[in-house]
Amino acid sequence: MRLIFSSPDLSKPGALAVFATENSTLLPSAEKLDRQIGGAIKRAISASKFKGEKGQTLKLLAPQGVEASQILVVGLGKIAAIDDLAAQNAGGTVVRELSRSVESTGLVVVDAIKGAEISSAAFAANVAYGALLGSYRFDKYRTKQKPEDKSALSTINIMTSDAAKARKAFGPMSKVAEGVFFTRDLVSEPANILYPISFAARTRALTKLGVKVQILDEKQMAKLGMGALLGVAQGSAQAPRMVAMRWDGAPRAKDKAPIAFVGKGVTFDTGGISIKSAGGMEDMKWDMAGAGVVTGLMHALAARKAKVNAVGVIGLVENMPSSNAQRPGDVVTTMSGQTIEVINTDAEGRLVLADALWWCQKIHKPHTMIDLATLTGAIIISLGHHHAGVFANNDKLAEQLSAVGKATGEAVWRLPLGDAYDKQVRSNIADMKNVGGRDAGSITAAQILQRFVKDEVAWAHIDIAGVAWSNTDAPTVPKGGTAFGVRLLDRLVADYYEQK
């Protein structure tokens, strides 16, 4: 999708979008347009249920008096509630509706909104950002789409009197969108295309942005003692990989220690010997979403030249049942030297992260470390598909994540950690076992991860199992891979960790 900015011009041909607030109040350009077409917009409003509420739309086809082939009126709701997120959702709504037309160009007229805190330029930039995010499609493997099923929309022209300011504000946003798309592409790929070696190969694309990429093979990991990760991988014909992506964007030498992001990358999860039921197993291609988010985030930070030192580490494996597969009851030794009794081979993500977290700290020595993983089904029972679960050893970091979650619409909810939960993962023959029973399954999983975090490191674990994939469309998140976490963590870096 091509996004451009220009001065308002209601005479241009294309599909034209304007805005209204609550009580069907048209913004100035919409009022002007309505007069130009003889009051047709207000007559259409009177004949419909359109009230200008957030997300509502009204469409007029082939209007007389303008070159536009159609007019789309999009509701913004209450003026006091119009912020960055509202603008992004409005932009996504515009793309969704105009994609159903035969036009290749969408024209979006943006006005200053009297009484709203958001500026005209910021509103325009965020409308463009939302439109771009909402335009994503993964059609790589469709070979027989009918022309009428394909969207003709290829350009969105944001028309505003603050075009130059809006264009400048949109620049970094477009780079974050690139990272989001990178992640969505990875998460959408089938497991016969995206497996540990091919995933690792895709990370090399980041070198063009100045990211340093290091890839470890199974021999190197074995030498380092990564018995937990290798235990998960041993049942698969696909060899595992560990990848580190380093972006050094902080200009001051005193800030050499990075913030680190660690992702679970199980490119397909059958459950291993503790095999999953067949129904829905095809979804397990996106059990690598945590690694996908870390990769997309590193793309976003590098592409927008973030003034921060950051490292992304991803552990890539495939969890398969075979004669070589790990068995329930096996004991593995992690890189840290701690031992884990494997009770359930379908609780494999924590084994992968145990070695990835330790290696990240040993090699890169971060001051802060955040891991993301589609770790537990229990988090879906707890929070549904609306929040990711957050666990942290640091209150300040947890509060920062909550704040940026609200700002980006990628909501998180903090859950507890504690000694009582830690007792549930005690093993009779090893330092710990990899499951703690059905009770508090997400918490006990986080307790295991915490054992691989050094005391001096601020750490948070984000369980994205309920939010990594969506079966419904939202304005800025089409159904499929969501890339939940890229915008969240980019904003975290921008607000709290980036040099100003």
Residue 207 belongs to domain with CATH number: 3.40.630.10
What pLDDT, on the 0 to 100 scale, is given for residue 387? 98
114-170 pLDDT, tens digit per residue, is: 999 999 999 999 999 999 999 999 999 998 888 777 888 999 999 999 999 999 999
What pLDDT, on the 0 to 100 scale, is given for residue 120? 95
Q: Give CA–CA dist 372/349, Å, rounded.
A: 10
Task: Report the predicted TM-score, pTM, of the whole model to 2 decimal places.
Answer: 0.97
Average pLDDT, the chain: 97
Q: Is residue 147 part of a domain?
A: yes
Last residue of a domain, one of 111, 128, 161: 161
Selecting among 167, 350, 433, 487, the annotated active-site residue is 350
Do 240 and 358 have their domain in common?
yes
Does the active-site annotation cover 150? no
Q: Is residue 166 part of a domain?
A: no
What pLDDT, on the 0 to 100 scale, is given for residue 149? 74
Do 119 and 218 have their domain in common?
no
User: In this structure, what CATH number is given to the domain that contains residue 150?
Assistant: 3.40.220.10
Q: Give CA–CA dist 111/297, Å, rounded.
A: 32
Q: Is residue 170 part of a domain?
A: no
How many Cα atoms within 13 Å fall on the side-chain side of residue 219? Answer: 0
Q: Is residue 169 part of a domain?
A: no
282-317 pLDDT, tens digit per residue, is: 999 999 999 999 999 999 999 999 999 999 999 999
Q: Is residue 352 part of a domain?
A: yes
Does the active-site annotation cover 350? yes
Do 33 and 101 have their domain in common?
yes
Q: Is residue 168 part of a domain?
A: no
Q: Is residue 461 part of a domain?
A: yes
- Sign, CA dihedral 358-360-362-366, equals negative
What pLDDT, on the 0 to 100 scale, is given for residue 254? 60
Do 399 and 349 have their domain in common?
yes
Do 267 and 245 have their domain in common?
yes
Do 248 and 124 have their domain in common?
no
Q: Which residues, in sequence order, are CB contacts of 27 under 8 Å at separation 6+?
A: 18, 19, 20, 21, 111, 113
Domain extent, residue 255, equals 175-497
Give yes or no for residue 360 having a pLDDT over 70.
yes
What domain count does the chain have?
2
Q: How would residue 255 be classed by pLDDT, with cut points 50, 70 and 90?
A: low
Q: How would residue 207 be classed by pLDDT, with cut points 50, 70 and 90?
A: very high
What pLDDT, on the 0 to 100 scale, is given for residue 252? 75
Do 261 and 406 have their domain in common?
yes
Nearest by Cα to 482 from 285, 289, 280: 289
What pLDDT, on the 0 to 100 scale, is given for residue 500? 83
Higher pLDDT, 370 or 142: 370
Do 309 and 284 have their domain in common?
yes
Selecting among 276, 307, 414, 454, the annotated active-site residue is 276
Q: How would residue 89 be classed by pLDDT, with cut points 50, 70 and 90?
A: very high
- Sign, CA dihedral 43-48-53-57, equals negative
Percentage, residues of the chain above pLDDT 90? 96
Do 335 and 461 have their domain in common?
yes
Do 118 and 240 have their domain in common?
no
Q: Strand, helix or coil at 453? A: coil
For range 335-354, the mean pLDDT: 98
Last residue of a domain, one of 161, 191, 217: 161
Q: Is residue 347 part of a domain?
A: yes
Residue 178 has a CB neighbour count (10 Å cut-off) of 19
Do 243 and 375 have their domain in common?
yes
Do 192 and 334 have their domain in common?
yes
Give yes or no for residue 267 having a pLDDT over 70.
yes
Contact by Cβ (8 Å): 274, 345: yes
Last residue of a domain, one of 104, 138, 161: 161
